Homo-oligomer: A and B are copies of this chain.
Amino acid sequence: MDFSLSAKARDYRDRVHRFVQQRAIPYETQYRDEIKDLCPREQWQQWQMPKGINTLKAAAREQGLWNLFLPDAELGAGLSHVEYASVAEAMGQSLIAAELFNCNAPDTGNMEVLWKYGSDEQKSRWLQPLLKGEIRSAFCMTEPDVASSDATNMQAQARIEGEQVILNGSKWWSTGIGHPDCRVLIFMGLSFPDQPRHQQHSMVLVPLDTPGVNIERMLSIHGDEDAPYGHGQVRFDKVSLPADHVILGPGRGFEIAQGRLGPGRIHHCMRCIGAAERVLKMAIERGMQRQAFGKPLMLLEGNRRTLAELRLAIDQARLLTLSTAWKLDQLGVHKALVDVSAIKVIAPRVLQQVVDFAIQIHGAAGLSDELPLTGFHLMARSLRLADGPDEVHQAMISRLELKAYR
């Protein structure tokens, strides 16, 4: 197992790190205020992206810090998963950073899908503008009416009728669908209910302006709609598209999903590690600066022991994620599935613990909007559900463990 980085990868990581520290983090507060002005609540159709983001994106692109997630050396940076992992950790230090490098979910996953499985026409129509950052995309999988942790519960349909594919059903938590530049979504639905379990579903590219696609609202969390991205609830009413909008072919949705999820989870998890480092640093800085009972808060009874435990947790989570990236590089997605489940459980959990500690150290300020702590909490908390809740991944881990004993 080898986590060494090539000179190229080290260079990307260092430059991304500097960009995040010097340009992204200092812009966070202003961004938050601009969002309030530009993104009126419950009126997502009017949302605008603050100009500062576009300026930073242009700068990042100019510096070649662009599409770094894509293993393709032409279209992206050609980094291995181990290498991109370190870059992703650097991005994780700011909640607004991934966007700046065109490395934001769900676009990253969607671009990978198109890159790996898309037809030439699909690539030229959607992958190209996504890679340029001209448009954004969404991914529609989770459904409101069933326990989506079990993908076979999926009820939305992608029926093949002659030359057409007809979509019906409800989806929600479609992140990014409220973005002003969102133009396309990938829809997953049931095509062949009578086929074997993993050959029933299809993934379909759906232009957002297709008749029958009804974005009903953006869901909110504590009143926060995550503007200008949004988590949309979408109804598909007899949406009819030419069958060539199906990716890879009807019934191959699961095959694509598996290929899509491995790398994406590594990105998420490494960003969690980076986020945890930032949050821990915030806790220490605040804790060394504020005094109570005659001492800096951090030196008061018990806080240092918690600090040591969090350091242990972060370092172990990073190593586990790197080892998973390495297996993905060496053995491919299918042989690393359980490893991917493992980091999916660990990394967001560690981030959640670190944030909890940091909020205690910051006191009430830690809960306010002035600091990114509640944002990082939400990142961790929602990742413990997204792409399968912790419990499903724990079940996968124990299933593999027991396999040899049955």
CB distance B2 to A401 under 8 Å?
A: no
Rounded to whole angstroms, the CA-CA distance of A374 and B374 in the bound complex is 12
Residue A172 CB within 8 A of the other chain: yes
Rounded to whole angstroms, the CA-CA distance of A346 and B288 in the bound complex is 27
Copies of this chain present: 4
Chain A positions near chain B (C-beta within 8 angstroms): 1-4, 36, 41-42, 142, 144, 146-150, 153, 172-173, 219-225, 231, 284-285, 288, 290-293, 297-298, 300-309, 311-312, 315-317, 319-320, 322-323, 342, 345-346, 359-360, 363-369, 374-375, 378, 381-382, 384-386, 389-391, 394-395, 397-399, 401-402, 405-406
In the complex, the chain B residue whose C-beta lies closest to that of A342 is: B312
In the complex, the chain B residue whose C-beta lies closest to that of A309 is: B394
How many whole Å from A381's CB to the nearest CB in chain B? 7
In the complex, the chain B residue whose C-beta lies closest to that of A316 is: B316
Rounded to whole angstroms, the CA-CA distance of A373 and B272 in the bound complex is 24
CB distance A369 to B221 under 8 Å?
A: yes
Q: Apart from A222-B369, A308-B394, what 17 extra A-B contacts exist at CB < 8 Å?
A: A41-B41, A220-B368, A221-B367, A223-B223, A223-B224, A231-B364, A284-B402, A293-B395, A302-B304, A302-B395, A305-B395, A315-B320, A319-B323, A360-B391, A363-B389, A364-B385, A367-B385
Rounded to whole angstroms, the CA-CA distance of A368 and B359 in the bound complex is 22
Complex contacts, A359 vs chain B, CB 8 Å: 381, 385
A395 CB contact (under 8 Å) in B149, B220, B301, B386: B301
Complex contacts, A172 vs chain B, CB 8 Å: 364
Complex contacts, A304 vs chain B, CB 8 Å: 301-302, 394-395, 398-399, 402
Given contacts A284-B405, A305-B398, A406-B288, contact A342 B367 (CB under 8 A): no
CB distance A149 to B2 under 8 Å?
A: no
